[in-house]
Chain A
């Protein structure tokens, strides 16, 4: 059950960590070094999760565990601003902080005209200017004790975004945190810390995107199909709301179709604060998103919306935990998935209502649309209710496009392919329609259409696979070759 001796995979990470700690000794305060060491010790003790663990039962991460990823170098020169245009949503005077492979890229960012009352800085800058601000929060919310990927990120994250608002400020322009992963068998550890002051209001868009390693990007809007070895992103975001704060968090994950992405978003709500999460996953070989919300103050309200797409032989796994620790809190969750090919999806929504959390109002819905006979979803609600005066409902549906609806459209002259697209867009529109930033909503509609077209068009898929194979071997040594080849086909 417990791994006493670290395996060779773990040893690689330990060796890399020791090298890093030496390099970082001048830049990092003692408290941070200590946290990092604790995190690495936990990772070493836990190892990568296995399918014998309940939370990972349907998600086998050995393709990640068995690969060697180079720690991303993060050079800005590899990508210029033009290449990032497909990932931006039009905004007048954008506020944007860009990270290349987890490292702050000032030349690609737009931080000159910050609105009043909000600061957007890189972790490195905060550590050198003002470290005390984040000591109570960094690494204190996302628990690394029992989550190996969080532990790994906490040990390795070299940089990140720190966004803070002063009390009472209402920030009307969305803050875009853009993490760019270049190709080439690299791992990056994006890290975000958001501290929303009392009664402040804020919108954050957190994007995780992939571009080709040599800086060239395909046609605008088309994601990298995978040339060279796949990348691995292990992201952690901690979002802390003060009393009465209102935070909208939009998360867009669109990296290469054969990439690996594991993320944890940890949120803490204080008294009467309001949080909404809109998570969009457009596919990867293995995508696993954990969203954990702690309703730590009375009268808090959280909304979790999600849309996930997967095709080919991709896997997308969404786990959410909403902890009603205080009374009079509300939570509303709706996650929708669109699966094609032989894709697999997992949805696990846990709602915990503690004994004193009376008058809890919790609602959870998961709906999945299967566009092919071989696509599959494992969906499970988990309600742990210990209070006795609460309202908790949950529901899940899994289905195909209605044949009657398709025929109705065809009977009006609309060809089958267009009819299918209209109905799929209508299904997804339930989630994209809840995006309050108009330009982002349109942007997401475009990405949705492009992704659907790619997933349903085998020609494009095999073109991508041919590229991946033809690119030759890189530095990555792969065990379990067959399993990885299947993933790369996506």
Chain B
């Protein structure tokens, strides 16, 4: 499903953050330094690592954030060159990024936005677009799954939402859009245990042989609920260790410093 080969990426002169033309301290710094990763269909892979290891950069590069520049390597998504695709095309082809910090969109109605997104995907697939009534019928059970209150659907996207509500909204969107590759970028950050359980049960309900999931997380706790098939440890832009779900527990016990020591001693 997803094949990443020797992926190198740095922060570019992207338009989004920072003043135009101003040199930031990290401009040009290489963050991903040769990532190799294969994700099979139906698999759940966890990517763990200390802060600054490149976890969110990897997620961002896969989703197509323009502030990152890929300097080497390739990403094949279902045999296609993912890096050559615009962000909206990746989404329409079934790539979904659950943001670590979901953006607030004042004045953009949540239901209206999600219906537009769903219809863009359906159009792309050659399926009929849904009107408001059919859309509501389709989302009803997904709303229950993520405990989304109908009033939340009528509010502007993420505006005034608590951290938990924002993350639930992300997984709710995932449930509606039914991606083939879901990338969860630190979905557990800022969540209390109750919110975590709801989000995890949502993700688990969406697990299927046709769907692959990459769970990017700093802490092992989430992986008690979303049990991975494979765990990879990212350190300074490279995957330095891979294993089964027990690797996560080992990391929890020994800390990220253990990995770095292992690296050094090699």
Residues on A facing B (Cβ under 8 Å): 402-405, 407-416, 418, 422-423, 425-427, 429-430
Contact = CB atoms under 8 A, between A and B. Distances in A.
B121 interface: yes
A413 B91 contact: yes
Given A403-B16, A413-B91, A413-B124, A426 B108 contact: yes
6 contacts: A410-B88, A412-B88, A412-B117, A413-B92, A430-B106, A430-B107
A408 B117 contact: no
B113 A410 contact: no
B132 interface: no
Contacts of A407: 16, 65-66, 87
Nearest to A422: B108
A413 B120 CA distance: 6
User: Which of the four size classes fits the interface of chain B?
Assistant: 20 to 34
B105 interface: yes
A442 to B, nearest CB: 15
Contacts of A414: 88, 113, 116-117, 120
B130 to A, nearest CB: 14
Interface string B140-173: 0000000000000000100000000000000001
Contacts of B88: 410-416
Interface string B37-68: 00000000000000000000000000111100
B42 to A, nearest CB: 23
A409 B66 contact: no
Interface stretch (B69-77, B96-104, B228-236): B96-104
A404 B106 CA distance: 13
Given A404-B16, A426-B105, A429-B107, A412 B99 contact: no
A411 B107 contact: no
Nearest to B112: A422
A414 B115 CA distance: 10
A412 B63 contact: no
Contacts of B103: 402, 404-405, 408
Given A403-B15, A410-B88, A422-B113, A415 B120 contact: yes
Contacts of B249: none
Contact of A408 (B66, B102, B107, B120): B102
Given A403-B16, A408-B99, A408-B102, A413 B117 contact: yes
Contacts of B65: 407
Given A404-B103, A408-B102, A413-B121, 5 more contacts: A402-B103, A408-B99, A409-B113, A411-B99, A415-B120
